Amino acid sequence: MAKSKLTITDFTKLATRDLLTILKMRNHPSIRCWMTNSNVIEVEEHLAFCQKLHLDPFSKYFFITCDDKPYGVVSVKAINDNWQNALTGYYKLTDSPYPLWKVRRIILHFMQKNFGLKRSYLIINSHNERSLNPFLDKKILGVRVIRQDDTYHYLECTLPQARIFADEIAKYLQEVEVNFIVPTLLPYTSALRQKALFIKASINIDSNDTQDHQTCTNKRDRSYA
């Protein structure tokens, strides 16, 4: 059977039409009720937010399609400016043959390889059983609750060492084909240099589209760094 095809696109590489699809998803009552900002977001506000991402090297938002159909969003925001720790979020509207938590792992692996990310944090509504229970019940390695109250659970997820993480991701890549569409990234550059380069890349945003497309397949030696 043919593998499903996931396309993971940085918001800064999306057309307005896709940004509006994302807004529709984000504003859906079943999603926004679990977000820290549960208000309906207006089109202008959303587009202005997406525009600002071009100048923000510490916030990465990814739109995921599965077999070319809109599927979900994963966000990764640096907590400190050298990307050791990041706050992540994720949501999906439709079901797809591929679980979004695995896509989140693929993206975190990408962030480890390109930015040296070590830990991710999640803030999950304490009543959001569907999202929270797997973390609590499945005793996932590296995950611990660092604080909890009636409103939120704060989870710390330490990423596996590079080689162990690469093995985990290699298993997922046997199940799906993954394409990343991201702006040019430079690995392990200092935060300030990264910021300068990111701004430069944003200014030339459409000039080198073909080079920006990074593809990963199940072949280990062609992974997506």
Binding region for ligand COA (CB under 6 A): 31, 34, 89-92, 99-101, 122, 124, 128, 130-131, 134-135, 138, 140
Cβ distance to ligand COA smaller for residue 155 or 201:
155
98, HSE (Cβ side, Cα atoms, 13 Å): 25
Q: How far is the CB of 90 from ligand COA (least distance, A)?
A: 5
Cβ distance to ligand COA smaller for residue 168 or 177:
168
Q: Do the Cβ atoms of 11 and 50 come closer than 8 Å?
A: yes
Cβ distance to ligand COA smaller for residue 12 or 88:
88
Q: How far is the CB of 32 from ligand COA (least distance, A)?
A: 9
Q: Could you tell me how many residues make up the chain?
A: 225
Q: Do the Cβ atoms of 119 and 154 come closer than 8 Å?
A: no
> Which helix (H) or strand (E) element contains residue 130?
helix 129-137
Q: How far is the CB of 85 from ligand COA (least distance, A)?
A: 16
Residue 195 has φ and ψ, to the nearest 5°, of -65, -45
Q: How far is the CB of 183 from ligand COA (least distance, A)?
A: 24
